[in-house]
Chain A
Amino acid sequence: MVDLKRYIVKRFLQTLIIVLGISFITFFLSRVAPSDPAALWVGIHARAEQIQRARVELGLDQPLYVQYFIYMGDLLQGSWGTSYRTRQPVLKDLMFYMPASMELAVIGQIIASVVGLPLGVIAASKKNTKIDHASRILAIAGVSLPVFWIGLLLQIIFSRTLGIFPIEGRLDTTIQMTMPIQRITGFFLFDSLVTGNFVAFFDALRHIILPAIALSSYSMGLSLRMTRSSMIEILREKYLKTARAFGLPENTIRFKYALKNAIVPTLMVMGISFSWSLTGAFLVEVIFNWPGLGTYVWRAILAVDYPVIVGVSIIASLIIVIINLILDLVQAWIDPRVRL
């Protein structure tokens, strides 16, 4: 227990250094591209004197290192600055966009796990059979087909042709107007459920299915192949032969004893792909018009919106570090051979 505490404190300190480094690098790198945020701030067709006044108001007339210290000082006091593009506090924007991304990533990960893990186990158990070949095709398709293509295909089949799922957005416009979800966490599924707004809950669920499937495709393919190859290794182990000799049912052997040892590398990969999908799911977000962090940062990059670029980089690095920490702890919990 003492070891665990020490380990977490050590990782926390490392995190601080990482965040500091990321903020420093992003802050200075984002200013390499030629741009004048003051000109963007005052609006198109503004006059030179208005731009100059805005430059002073925004502190952009200060030397770069002074701007960095001011930014970090504000950050420590909980102010993430104001977006030049949306004119809103960055933290407020982040709190709006991040839950949308998180929700999509979580549902995507659930789909990837529910499909990828069992199929991986089955494919390994029935190596070189038709099921194995079919799962291989599925995995390769998931990993290699671009997500935007999968997204468009899903839209054409399930939205345009069958009309089962909506084309885009998080919620139907009419429901948004007539039965709006009371915002608690920003996770529509959770918020609607706890407030008993079931119509909105099922509408939100309908909206998230297609983008989540598209987002899960890569992670699903990867976890399927990783589970399969790990399982093939594990299934050759002597202790499983012993289990068979004792007459244990085959499914118990596969899912209870073999999967437990095979799942660790898969979990690592899935954790990393989860972190990626928070900010990297931009293509899925655009196709399904999903207001997530990817879209937010993409717009910020195009508008050279420094406070947002730095803010998202910090939050993304924090998320990655935290997920990695959780994965390490889970790995140690599942596999006693792993020492922290």
Chain B
Amino acid sequence: MLVNGKAITKLQGVVILVVIVAAIGGVYFVARPSAPPESTSTTEMTSAVANPTKIFTTAEDYDFVTDIDPAYSFSGEIVAMANVYEGLLVYTGGNPEVKPSLATSYDATPDGLTWTFKLREGVKFHDGTPFNATAVKYSFDRIRELGAGAVYIWDPVKELKIIDTYTVQYTLSYAAPLQRIVSSVYGAWIYSPNINKTGDIKDLHDWFNAGHDAGTGPYMFETLERGVQLTLTYFGDYWEGWGGPHAADRIAKVVFKIVEDPAVRVQMIESGSVQHAAAIPAQERKRIQNETGIRVSWENTYFSHYAFLNTQSPNLKDKLVRQAISYAFPYQDYIITGEGSYIQPRGAIPTGMWGHIDDLYQYQLNLTKAKELLTQAGHPNGGFKLIYYYISGVEATGSAGQLWKAELAKLGIELDVRGMTWPSLWELMKQGPDKYNYDIVAFAWWPTFITPYDFMFNMWHTEKTPLWNAAYYYNPQYDQLIDEAYKLEGPQPDQALKLYKQAQQVLIDDAATVFLDDLRLAFVMRSNVQGFQYHAAIGYDTFVFWEMWLES
């Protein structure tokens, strides 16, 4: 008994030790000053940024880093990549729609087949290599060779030639809007050709994804902890410099923290521990937007939600039924649920983007008209069931389904609203029209590069193998119109616009899709964030940190 008693004595000892440590720790927490310790690494910074303590922290709502190799990058990491890499031109969303970046000017022949770009001199990559035509060719050749990411944006390019150190020339196999292609945020970044000069990096793709970069942008990757956070630090030799009236307050570092719980993001922005919090739920945003220290900026995006009507499904094969279904969606009620986040769309192209046409026909909620159409189609009292799929957790398409369901019930049509994870839903779509899986599928689209063709080709052009055409819409007239329009975008933009309009009219008349909303993004920030600037070409909330500063 006494020998065994030692076990208890040990236990007691451990308990006492833990209590003592906990007590000491507790006393320390209460007694310690709350201010963070003095920075030890600030001395490493050059004088390029006057105040290296200006750190912008943003709480991102999901694990946004997939691939940070500039050739492969094709996902949410764009919010950081757009501050690390640059292309020849940059899309502004204004007039003119593109402005010089690594190219200072460009010129195209009247037939739109030859494009010459003058490159900027005096630009350095983060590894110190000077930027020139070799780098442009290297970046282009690498993505072509790899066939990675958004490589297909370069489909029209037959050849890229170096004319001299600071001039490159693209020859196209058919006319295409190259000024928009080179300003793409996917697949068009320029990076240093000297990364692997010594050949000691076995796999460049792995090297990039270990948290390295080779861009010319104002920021560089500093640390990457996948699933936790990504830190950027400023590039002292950035070609646009770090001066200006707010030099002392410019952002020296950016921390992207991944915080998946919206309640925590709300607490973080309210407490001031972050300067920006992404995807704050509408109700919470309303609650906090007038609090001291919080500011909300609204911006239009090229991110839109669509509900694709399966044109091959037994229920929706008839155009009249699809039109009836389109008249049964409560457009106004749905827009109200967005609390300012949704704009009523007109056609397939988002509001504000080139190719958006304001006077296109827009269906409205009209149950009388819907009933007439159903009667013509032989379903005066409805009497059938439709399956509606949306991506689980997406507030917009989820509520659209529920609102639609209520209206359709008045026509005697049952709408079965089902949520599903994106991978499974996509797989369902890809099984094609021969297998009846759904009547309606709702998801979002945003452009790879800024052209109506990106929307209109991917979502409704005839596909041999189903990939994105969720409506299984096959219309040769439509295909011809958009294919022709794309080729005219560069040399004859007005004519291209006319054709895009015609194609959208065909699409609307065929009622292949209900255009749910064009998204407005609410940037919820701390009020000391100044010079707010976002990247117009990107659907995600992407800041242009170089333009911004943090007021003291």
Contacts and interface: CB of A to CB of B under 8 A. Distances in A.
Given A45-B150, A167-B273, A178-B36, A93 B458 contact: no
A163 B7 contact: no
B231 A295 contact: no
B271 A286 contact: no
B30 A286 contact: no
A86 B62 CA distance: 13
Contacts of B229: 173
B465 interface: yes
B261 interface: yes
Nearest to B445: A45
Nearest to A165: B29
B231 A177 contact: yes
Interface string A72-110: 000000000000011110000100110000000000001
Interface stretch (A31-39, A221-229, A272-280): A31-39
Interface in A285-333: 286-289, 291, 295-296, 299, 302-304, 333
Nearest to B426: A39
A19 interface: no
B271 A160 contact: yes
Contacts of B465: 48
A159 interface: yes
A13 interface: no
A294 B429 CA distance: 30
A268 interface: no
Interface string B137-167: 0000000000111111000000000000000
B227 A202 contact: no
A64 to B, nearest CB: 16
Interface string A33-56: 111110110111111101101000
Interface hub of A152, A169, A175 (most chain B Cβ within 10 A): A169
B8 A260 contact: yes
Contacts of A333: 7
Nearest to B226: A86
Given A177-B231, A287-B264, 5 more contacts: A35-B423, A53-B147, A178-B37, A256-B8, A291-B228
Interface in B443-470: 448, 458, 463, 465, 467-468
Nearest to B431: A34
Contact of A175 (B25, B36, B74): B36
A206 B29 CA distance: 7
Given A86-B226, A114-B19, A296-B227, A289 B261 contact: yes
B25 A97 contact: no
20 contacts: A33-B423, A34-B427, A36-B426, A36-B427, A45-B150, A45-B458, A50-B148, A51-B467, A53-B147, A85-B66, A86-B66, A97-B227, A118-B15, A167-B273, A172-B36, A174-B55, A205-B29, A256-B9, A259-B8, A287-B261
Interface string B9-53: 101100100110010010011101010111111100000000000
Contact of B255 (A36, A93, A165, A173): A173
A46 B424 contact: no
Given A93-B226, A110-B18, A48 B467 contact: yes
A331 B147 CA distance: 60
Contacts of A96: 225-227
Q: How large is the interface on B (under 10, 10 to 19, 20 to 34, 35 or more residues)?
A: 35 or more
A72 to B, nearest CB: 24
A289 B424 contact: no
A166 B1 CA distance: 47
A51 B427 CA distance: 12
A205 B18 CA distance: 13
A295 B227 contact: yes
B82 to A, nearest CB: 16
A336 B4 contact: yes
Contacts of B431: 34
Interface hub of A47, A114, A259 (most chain B Cβ within 10 A): A47
B84 to A, nearest CB: 18
B8 A255 contact: yes
A43 B149 contact: yes
5 tightest Cβ-Cβ pairs between the two chains A and B: A43-B74, A34-B427, A174-B36, A35-B423, A304-B423
Given A43-B66, A87-B209, A205-B25, A178 B421 contact: no
Nearest to B274: A173
A168 interface: yes
A157 interface: no
Contacts of B11: 259, 263
Contacts of B66: 43, 85-87
B316 interface: no
Nearest to A89: B206
B133 interface: no
Given A53-B147, A167-B273, A295-B227, A114 B18 contact: yes
Contacts of A85: 63, 66
Contact of B63 (A36, A118, A255, A299): A299
B428 interface: yes
A155 interface: yes
B14 to A, nearest CB: 9
A53 B65 CA distance: 22
A259 B74 CA distance: 60
Nearest to B393: A302
A167 B268 CA distance: 7
Contacts of A33: 421, 423-424
Interface string B512-526: 000000000000000
Nearest to A298: B260
B528 interface: no
Interface in A141-172: 152, 155, 159-160, 163-169, 172
B29 A35 contact: no
B74 A289 contact: no
A113 interface: yes
A16 interface: no
B257 A260 contact: no
A152 B267 CA distance: 10
